[in-house]
Amino acid sequence: MKVAIVMGTRPEIIKLSSIIKLLNKKNSTIIFTGQHYDFNMSMQFIKDLDIRKPDYSMKLTKLQNTTTDRATQIGEIVLNLAKIISKIEPDTVIVQGDTNTVLAAAITGIKCSVPVTHVEAGLRSNDWRMPEEHNRIAVDHISEFLFAPTEHAKKTLQGEKVHGKTYVTGNTSIDAIQQNISKAEKKANLSIEKKNDFALVTLHRGENVDNKETLSSIVQGLVQSKMDMIFPAHPRTVKQLQRFGLYKKLQESDNILIIPPVGYFDMLYLMKKSKFIISDSGGVQEEATSPSIRKKVLIVRKSTDRPEAVKTGYSELVGTCTQKIIQAIRDAQDNHKITSDANPYGNGHSAEKILSVLRKTL
């Protein structure tokens, strides 16, 4: 078996790391598309996670976050990747998630007559505003091997009558945490005075940060809640906060500490030390269910593609209304304990299950 692993963003590096660790240069080729432009930061993630450097790395034209540029980016990846795939002739192209890289790699795979393997298949938000929703639906219907994290995701795929074979394996994000949590506290560069007495905040989704009314509503909820918070702010989120005149409001608040983006170990450390989490991130919803984290997540979105976390009590879909956010934060201050013993995303052995299926099939 010879595989090509294609990744382009830091979440993909994290979620594919456990698979990469079980492979070597003889049976796998790692291709980094550079969808996240900060190459050094991405390489730092690779170093921190103790995985080998990519065999191929692209340098893409910088995206200006317009609809045209997104389409252009996918085309640019396809053009570059087709040359690599044709050269190395893998038995399958492995992708994870729902990014432009994933869609581009899936298109390249099928057009080069190479079966596509989709890790984290079957997720749906049923929210067509999300570019990720377009990507994952297309990729699921292109793929030959679909590795669903849960039974719910598998049922979604069966309901859509995808032509590929579907397997339930858990989510590789849990693998990554189990493999790295012991390093997190040792290597974290943060020092927190008020341990377990703050909420961790992350915001990055386009439907939230690109809409002035929505972002203003969320910010009002965070500030007016009076809960102490640590907010590692993504550069694009900061740009939009400044554009809409909201950054100063956060800076001048008594309860919110804005810090620069943090690395993987620092994020695990913050999650573990927080009282609960306020986020629009799908990955955070998964990671918070890890036996090593077990924190409640208040989802500031109108929909979620991780309903399993909500069903088991790890997450609560709050929405973006100011008053609902304030009330949810106040409720969580008194009731943030996780009572469920179940982990909806597996026990940390997803990579082993995925490769076992591929070795038997390819």
Q: What is the pLDDT of residues 290-317, one digit of tens each?
A: 999 999 999 999 999 999 999 999 999 9
Nearest partner of 223 among 319, 329, 100, judged by Cα? 329
pTM of the model: 0.92
Residue segments in the chain with a per-residue pLDDT below the cut of 70: 37-41, 63-67, 193-196
Domains of the chain in start order, with CATH, are 3-171+346-361 (3.40.50.2000), 185-334 (3.40.50.2000)
Is residue 264 within 8 Å of 14, Cβ to Cβ? yes
Q: What is the pLDDT of residue 63?
A: 66
Burial class (CB within 10 angstroms; exposed 0-12, middle 13-18, buried 19+) of 136: buried
Question: Residue 158 in contact with residue 124, Cβ under 8 Å?
Answer: no
8 Å CB contact between 46 and 78: no
Confidence at residue 162, expressed as pLDDT on a 0 to 100 scale? 98
Selected catalytic residue, list 36, 118, 141, 204: 204
- pLDDT for res 66: 63
User: Residue 259: what pLDDT?
Assistant: 94
Task: Return the pLDDT at 131.
Answer: 87
346 φψ region: left (φ > 0), alpha (ψ -120 to 50), beta (else):
left
**Burial category of 97 from C-beta neighbours within 10 Å (exposed 0-12, middle 13-18, buried 19 and up):** buried
For residue 118, indicate whether it is catalytic: no
Cβ 174 vs Cβ 343: under 8 Å: yes
